């Protein structure tokens, strides 16, 4: 018996209107770098920021985060990343930090975002995942 394909549906938002997008200072005591990053109208946007100079997306699902302070060295730091619910389109989302080999170049943290839109446990790079990053 063949089974029908199951696809994930985009998550319903908690309001019908989109919030105004302005970057606010993140309240992250003891963090050298912390932020909430999402793709807004196809452009990477820093929603909450502490110590992030810029975010660029070099390809689908590959984000490069440049620290504002020269004292934060991505080649020696540990980054903690997590999926953020509101700014992600699907429940089956992942985010990973890449300590090297990402294409971001030196002086930047690399973050990969993935989704399993077909609910097959086969994740693909995507721009539909909001995430937080924290560097102690």
DSSP 37-105: EEEETTEEEEEEEESEEEEEEEETTEEEEEESSTT--TTT---EEEEESTT-S-SSEEEEEESSSSSS-
CB-based contact 107:74 (threshold 8 Å): yes
Query: At residue 11, does pLDDT exceed 90?
Result: no
| Domain total of the chain | 1
pLDDT for 57-66, tens place per residue? 999 999 999 9
pLDDT for 41-74, tens place per residue? 889 999 999 999 999 999 999 999 999 999 999 9
CB-based contact 79:92 (threshold 8 Å): no
Q: What is the CB neighbour count within 10 angstroms for residue 59? A: 11
Instruction: Supply the range of the domain harboring residue 47.
Output: 28-135
DSSP state of 111: E
Query: At residue 86, does pLDDT exceed 90?
Result: yes
Instruction: Answer whether residue 118 is part of any domain.
Output: yes
Instruction: Answer whether residue 97 is part of any domain.
Output: yes
pLDDT for 14-44, tens place per residue? 555 555 677 888 888 899 999 999 999 889 9
Distance (Å, whole) CA 61 – CA 58: 8
Instruction: Answer whether residue 36 is part of any domain.
Output: yes
CA of 9: how far to CAs of 15, 89, 124, in Å?
A: 17, 9, 16
């Amino acid at each position: 018996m063949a089974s029908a394909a199951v696809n994930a549906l985009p998550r319903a938002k908690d309001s019908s209107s989109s919030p105004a997008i302005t970057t606010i200072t993140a309240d992250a005591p003891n963090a050298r770098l912390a932020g909430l990053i999402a793709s807004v109208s196809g452009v990477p946007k820093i929603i909450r920021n502490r110590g992030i100079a810029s975010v660029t997306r070099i390809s689908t699902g590959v984000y490069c985060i440049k620290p504002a302070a020269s004292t934060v060295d991505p080649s020696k730091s540990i980054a903690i990343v997590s999926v953020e619910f509101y700014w992600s389109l699907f429940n089956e989302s992942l985010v990973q930090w890449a300590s090297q080999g990402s294409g971001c170049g030196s002086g930047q943290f690399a973050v990969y975002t993935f989704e399993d839109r077909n609910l097959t446990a086969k994740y693909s790079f995507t721009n539909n995942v909001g995430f937080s990053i924290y560097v102690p």
